[in-house]
């Protein structure tokens, strides 16, 4: 150990605590508003006892799970090809795929709606999952490909020597080794699909199909309307927003352990 390390460690700890606290202030503010009188903690109970809540959660879970599977699958396959295989038009195709990241989402609404209608997928989970995945795959392809670029090419050579096909090399070597970044893909896709608002609005019709992101808005409407009669204070909205955000927080915390575990286990040496 080098001299001065101990005081540096105290300084680091102090710095970390200060920075984190400052960054948490907005959340503390919202938390504070969510339990403001007269409702107090009752604000949360009020939202929790709403009968629609479980269905909204379920809808979002189905949509998110489907989007994750489709996105991670398509993106991993494509990333492997871009990172580890040699083929004509590789860069052209990568750039083509990247065009997705340049598309302002709001302009895609009408063509997407027309398409989903044409496929008879309007007001279905799949109708929501397909476009969500389509817009997520390119980004995650880059993320995974970038990670795979960091995996030594010698691993591929070794796989071929062991008699693996390309798919074998992908399935048995690259995919397992890319688990740390897959965790990121899963977390980010979950967040993206869970928090998306515009697509469910356009592609779903019935309220029982609505996702949490849509529900957040109807809660805001209700809170605004009912607060006039003093029945529900406007602060219930903050409680509702916290509860609607809760699943993302919980899932993130769970994935965080897997994520840190994978990264620190040093899969890449």
- Contact set for another protein, span 199-218 (CB under 8 A): 201-202, 205, 207, 213, 216-218
Q: Which token pair is 92?
A: 């052209």
- Contact set for another protein, span 228-257 (CB under 8 A): 228-230, 234, 241, 244-245, 248-249, 252-253, 256
Are 213 and 194 within 8 A, CB to CB? Answer: yes
At 268, is the secondary structure helix, strand, or coil?
coil
Closer residue to another protein, CB minimum distance, 54 or 120: 120
Which class for 113: exposed (0-12), middle (13-18), buried (19 or more C-beta within 10 A)? middle
Are 135 and 154 within 8 A, CB to CB? Answer: no
Distances 14 to 6, 125, 185 between C-alpha atoms, Å: 13, 48, 32
Give the nearest distance from C-beta 106 to another protein in angstroms.
Answer: 5
- Contact set for another protein, span 56-95 (CB under 8 A): 70, 73-75, 77-78, 80-81, 84-88, 90, 93
- Contact set for another protein, span 38-57 (CB under 8 A): none
* String of contacts with another protein for each residue 154-173, x by CB under 8 A: x-xx--x-----xx--x---
Q: How many residues bind another protein (CB under 8 A)?
A: 116
**Is residue 227 part of the contact set for another protein (CB under 8 A)?**
yes
- Contact set for another protein, span 96-115 (CB under 8 A): 96-115
Among 47, 142, 175, 186, binds another protein (CB under 8 A): 142
Give the nearest distance from C-beta 176 to another protein in angstroms.
Answer: 16
* Nearest CA-CA partner of 239 in 256, 227, 258, 223: 223
Quote the CA–CA distance of 20 and 6 in Å, as a whole number. 21
* Nearest CA-CA partner of 188 in 232, 143, 230: 143
Stretch that binds another protein, among 42-50, 52-60, 61-69, 133-141 (CB under 8 A): 133-141
């Amino acid at each position: 150990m080098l001299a001065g390390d101990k005081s540096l460690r105290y300084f680091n700890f102090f710095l970390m605590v200060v920075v984190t606290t400052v960054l948490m202030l907005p959340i503390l503010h919202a938390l504070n508003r969510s339990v403001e009188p007269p409702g107090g903690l009752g604000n949360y109970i009020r939202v929790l006892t709403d009968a629609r809540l479980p269905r909204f959660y379920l809808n979002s879970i189905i949509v998110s799970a489907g989007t994750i599977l489709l996105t991670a699958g398509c993106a991993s396959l494509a990333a492997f090809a871009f990172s580890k295989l040699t083929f004509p038009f590789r860069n052209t195709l990568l750039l083509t795929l990247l065009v997705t990241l340049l598309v302002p989402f709001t302009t895609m609404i009408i063509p997407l709606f027309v398409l989903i209608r044409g496929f008879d997928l309007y007001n279905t989970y799949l109708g929501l999952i397909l476009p969500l995945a389509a817009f997520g795959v390119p980004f995650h392809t880059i993320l995974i490909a970038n990670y795979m670029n960091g995996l030594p090419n010698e691993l591929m050579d070794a796989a071929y020597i062991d008699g693996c096909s390309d798919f074998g090399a992908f399935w048995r070597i690259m995919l397992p080794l890319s688990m740390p970044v897959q965790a990121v893909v899963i977390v980010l896709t979950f967040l993206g699909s869970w928090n998306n608002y515009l697509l469910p609005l356009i592609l779903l019709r019935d309220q029982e199909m609505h996702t949490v992101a849509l529900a957040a808005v109807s809660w805001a409407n209700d809170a605004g309307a009912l607060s006039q009669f003093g029945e529900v204070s406007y602060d219930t909205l903050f409680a509702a927003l916290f509860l609607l955000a809760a699943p993302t927080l919980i899932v993130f915390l769970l994935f965080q352990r897997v994520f840190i575990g994978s990264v620190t286990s040093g899969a890449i040496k």
